[in-house]
Chain A
Amino acid sequence: MEILYLNNEKIKNIANNFRIKYSDNSIPVGMEDIIEVKLKMTTALSPGLKYLLGIDMIIMSNFESIYVDERIYSDETQKNRLRFSYAHEIGHFILHKNIYKNFGIKNWDDFREIQEKKSYRENIKRIDKQADIFAGHLLIPEDRLKLEINQILESLDAKLLSKIKSISKESRNQLLASQLSIIFGVSQWAMFIALSKLE
């Protein structure tokens, strides 16, 4: 089965439209509010999901419930990770709900068997990548990011500003990422990726 190629621009538009429809302009984006109150999805907490199977979160095949590792859900220090995982799962809901149907998984036996197929695992990798891109755009709106960058740069004195401008783009992004990641409620890594993509 061929997974439709979606470029960055296309996913960005889908994510932006989704945010406009389901959220206000505030950042960090309130993912639990969107998922539970707006989309009326159910959250179930699962102890051991992460520890035993290495899974943070699962969206179920009814696309109405999400199972979250209980420890990550309750751990205040994991809230940015949790936010990104929610956004990733919603990426699947928005982008891949119909694709899932084509896999034809009707029961646990199908679920077991399909995992043996290399083509399935390749498709899942592609799908996961798309969901990550969606999550990045959902949580870090590009316009807002530009605004916040300008605000940071404007707050610097002339000496520091010229120093910042003299370093490489990558080093500059690393410096900016630590401050911006707090504003947007994402990990520094997610922020660094978003900054790297920015023109």
Chain B
Amino acid sequence: MKNNNLQKFGQKLKELRINKGLTLRKMCQKVNYDPSNWSKIERGRISPPSNDKILNKWAEALELTNDIEIEKFISDAQVAQGLIPSDIMKEENIINYLPAFFRSVKKEKMTEEDIKELIKLIKNS
């Protein structure tokens, strides 16, 4: 079962951040959070925290001022729990996970093993 709340919250989180003109780096500096995990939350690959204190801090950094807005932000994060990551090998998702161009300083072409490694890395990102 796909957790739509997870995806929806992630998209909303990204939208709020971009609307404030914040890059991933700046956002994470503001709230002292790991950018790798923040990006995963935005892409619906992991759950957001459910802790009120943390979520309040995020809401503040995203300049949500209206009480109702803040409350909705927190409750949306709290219902977006439970990780069911999308399968990156699935046909419908493939365009999102296939590299278009890349340049390796180590190799001119990727071997079977390299590609397996690459898929693993992308899956875990």
Contact = CB atoms under 8 A, between A and B. Distances in A.
Nearest to B106: A54
A65 B98 CA distance: 10
Interface residues of B, number: 42
A11 interface: no
B125 A67 contact: yes
A60 B100 contact: yes
Nearest to B104: A54
Interface stretch (A109-117, A144-152, A185-193): A109-117
A101 to B, nearest CB: 10
A92 B23 contact: no
Interface stretch (A20-28, A44-52, A162-170): A44-52
A111 B98 contact: yes
A92 B103 CA distance: 12
B36 interface: yes
A59 B104 contact: no
A1 B94 CA distance: 24
Interface of B: 14, 18, 21-25, 35-36, 39-40, 42-43, 89, 91, 94-110, 112, 114-115, 117-119, 121-122, 124-125
30 contacts: A32-B24, A36-B18, A36-B24, A37-B18, A37-B21, A43-B39, A44-B39, A44-B43, A45-B125, A47-B121, A47-B125, A53-B104, A54-B107, A55-B104, A58-B101, A61-B95, A61-B98, A61-B99, A67-B99, A67-B122, A70-B36, A96-B100, A100-B101, A107-B94, A111-B115, A112-B110, A112-B112, A112-B115, A115-B110, A127-B101
